[in-house]
Amino acid sequence: MARPKLPRKSTNVDMTAMCDVAFLLLTFFILATKFKPPEAIEIVTPKSVASKVAPSKDVVLVSVDRDGKVFFSIEDPDAKKYIANAINNTKNLGIDVNAFVNAQFIGVPFSQLKAFLALPEADRKANALPGIPVDTTKGPNEMIDWMRYAVDAYQGKKMNLLLKGDNKSKYPSIEGVINAFKKTDQLKFEMVTNPEAVPTGSELWKLAQKGQRTEE
């Protein structure tokens, strides 16, 4: 006697549920991603074992590119407006406040600031600009003035001072920037780096193995 035939099951799978989940995740990640605006200043940051994520709010960023040119940028429009007015009051440069607020970064000496702000946004290329002078052998360290304005603008608020340098930038520019920080009593700042694994077997690694917190 032949055995009763098993009913043939279809190999078709209902994909609807899987599709639903996939697109739900997709929507989540699309909404959660924050794209960085294309960087006007090209900087390759060095690596460090620091695991603290760089702050993104109330940032005053000082960038030093590979040629040692210094750029200054502030995100907060109110602080920018304050700084622009302060520059006009103290230096009589007559700069356009709105143009200053819209500028992503500043990379010229004060003497060229007005001409710089008159340039269209697309023409402000970091490699064509002279940068903010910090070398005291060639003239005043203008970074001190910028830091003073920034400190005034952030009075009563917390200011996250970031230094972002390129791997190849030479120390004198960094020194000029650090001196400007010192002169304005900004003794606490953070350096932007890329994360790197802690070397196995080192003291910090042993601490991490014990489960101790390594960041203060």
Partner 1 sequence: MAEMDTSSGGGHKKGPGVKKGKKMSTRVDLTPMVDLGFLLITFFIFTTTMSQPTAMKLFLPKDADKPDEQNKIKESGALTILLGGDNTVFYYEGELAPNGTNFKSANYSNGDEGIRAEILRKKASTPEKDLMVVIKPSPQCTYKNVVDALDEMSINVIKRYALVDISPVEEQLVQKSQAAAATGN
Q: Does 209 bind partner 1 (CB under 8 A)?
A: no
Side chain identity at residue 60, one-letter code = V
Q: What b/e sequence results for 64-95 when a residue is b if at least 16 CB atoms lie within 10 Å of its CB, and e otherwise?
A: bbbebbbbbbbebeebbebbbebbeeeeeeeb
Q: Does 30 bind partner 1 (CB under 8 A)?
A: yes
CB 55 within 8 A of CB 160: yes
Which residues, other chains included, contact 113 with Cβ-Cβ below 8 Å and sequence gap of 6+? 87, 93, 95, 106
Q: Which is nearer to partner 1, 28 or 78 (CB)?
A: 28
- Residue 59 φ/ψ, nearest 5 degrees: -95, 135
d(CA 150, CA 158): 11
Q: Does 36 bind partner 1 (CB under 8 A)?
A: yes
Looking at residues 144 to 173 of the shown chain, list those that interact with partner 1 (rule: CB under 8 A): 162, 165-172
Query: Which residue among 18, 77, 130, 209 contacts partner 1 (CB under 8 A)?
Result: 18
Q: Which is nearer to partner 1, 89 or 137 (CB)?
A: 137
Largest CA distance in the chain: 108
* Stretch touching partner 1 by CB under 8 A, among 71-79, 101-109, 147-155, 184-192: 184-192
Question: Which residues are near partner 1 by CB under 8 A?
Answer: 11-16, 18-19, 22-23, 25-26, 29-30, 32-33, 35-36, 45-55, 64, 162, 165-172, 174-175, 178, 181-182, 185, 187-196, 198-199, 202-204, 207, 214, 216
